[in-house]
Amino acid sequence: VKCGNCGEVTEKESYVMLGEVVPIPKSRGQANLVQKLIECV
């Protein structure tokens, strides 16, 4: 899992799902779910 804030990849279950909509570079779509480390929120 990759943190949507700092980009850190970890196996820890310390992520939260956010309802933010973010554009995906080089893609037409958007990501409705963003995972971030709790410490980054």
Least separation in angstroms between residue 21's CB and Zn ion is 19
Binding test (CB under 5 A) with Zn ion, winner from 1, 18, 34, 40: 40
40 DSSP assignment: G
Least separation in angstroms between residue 28's CB and Zn ion is 26
What single letter denotes the amino acid at residue 36? K
Least separation in angstroms between residue 11's CB and Zn ion is 14
Core vs surface per residue 3-29: b (16+ CB within 10 A) or e: bbeeeeeeeeeebeeeeeeeeeeeeee
The binding site for Zn ion (CB under 5 A) comprises 3, 5-6, 8, 37, 40
